[in-house]
Structure 1
Amino acid sequence: MDSSPAAVTRRLWPLLVSVHEALRAGVAVSAAVHAAHGWNPTADRHLDHQLVRREAMERLRPWGADLDDAGSDPLLEQQLRPTDVDTDNLGLPMSGLILRTSRDVVRIWHSDDGELPSADTHGLRDFYRQEPSAQTQLAFGDVPGRARPARCHVALLWADSRAALTRLELVRPYGHVGRRVQVDWRIDLHGRLPAADPTPAT
C-alpha cells in the first residue's frame, strides 16, 4: 500500500475536507456557547475542545452513514466510523476522534504545538509502530520481521485561536524512541482545504 504523502492525501481528500468543515463548525459552536454565557474559553480549555469535538462528531456521523448506501461514491468501501477516542489520549480529554477506512486509520487530536502525544501507552505505541513510507530503513528499536499494520496510521492535528482554526496538519508517525515519536512526514493542510460556512448542525 502506498503510504507516501501524495497518495495518502489523495485517497483521504474527501474525508479531510469533511473533517475540516466539521472542526470549523465545532470551533464556531464553542465560540457561540462561550459568548452566550460570557465565558472565557481559556479558563477551561477542556470544555472548549469538548464542544468542538461534539459538534465535529455530529457532522461526521451523517457523512459516514452515507457510505453505507449504494452509489458511486469512490469512498463507498471505506466505511468511515467516527468513534470516541480511547482512554490513552494522554491529557487530551474529549478532544479526539478516530476515523477508520479500509486502508487508513486517522486519529484527530488537538495540539497547540503541533506535536503528537508522547508514546507513553501501549495503544499509542501500537498506533505509531509502522514502517516509514519510503521503506528504506526500519524504525529504530523495531524488531525485524514484525508484521506491518493492516492500515496506514496517520494523525490529524488541529488547533484554534479566537474562534478560528489555526492549525491543521496531517502527520504520519513511524515508531518511537522512548517517549519521543518519530515522524515519517507532515503535511500542512491549513489554508489548502476548501472552507464552507461553519453553520452548526441541526
Structure 2
Amino acid sequence: MPFIEENDLLDLHKDIEKAQIINERLLDQIKFKNKDLKKLKIQRYLLIGVMAIFLIGALGMVAYFTGMNAHNELYEERISSSQDSLEKARKRLEFLKDQNEELSLVKDFYLAKKFLNKEKVYSVQVKSLVDSNIPLAPNALTNTHLVKTNPYYAYSIGTFETLEEAQNFRLHLVDIGFKDAFVASYKDGKRLQIERPD
C-alpha cells in the first residue's frame, strides 16, 4: 500500500470537497433557474394574453374615437396613453425574451450534464477493497466511484471527459504515493475497462 502524507491526503480531500460543493451549487442554480423558467413561461403566456386583449381594446377604442370627431381632444389623450402602455409592454416583452435566452443557456448546461452521465467517462482507481463499508470518503461526493468488481470493491477518484485528463491526474496521484493507481473507463456507473497508462 502506498504511503501518503497526511497533509497530502487532507489536501486531496479538500479538493474533492470543493468540487462537490461547486457541483451542488450548480445543481441548486439549475433547479432555481428551472423554477424561474416555469414562472417566466406562465408570465409570458399571461403577458401575451393581456397584450392581445389590450390590442383588441386599443383597436376598439381607436375605432370608437375615430367616429367621434366631436371628442377629438379625448381621442388624442387616450391614443397617447395607449402608446405609452404599448411601449411599456414592448419593453417588458423584450426583458422577458432576454431572460428566456439566459434560462435556455442554463437548461442547455443541465441537459449537457445529463447527457454526459450517459457517455463514457474516466476515473483513476486507487484501491480495491473486500468490504464496501470502509469509509474512505463521504458517499455524497459526486466525483468518487465505489464500484463492485467481483469479489472486490474498486475505489476511484475523479470524473474526467477525456483519457488524457485522467492520465494526468493519475500521474499526480503516483507522485504523491499511489504507485498502483490506474485509469479505468466507466459508463452508467459501471466499469468498462482498464485503460493503458500513457
| Structure with higher strand content | 1
TM-score range for the pair, normalised by the shorter chain length: under 0.3
| Greater relative contact order (Cα < 8 A, sep 6+) | 2
TM-score by length of 2: 0.27
TM-score by length of 1: 0.27
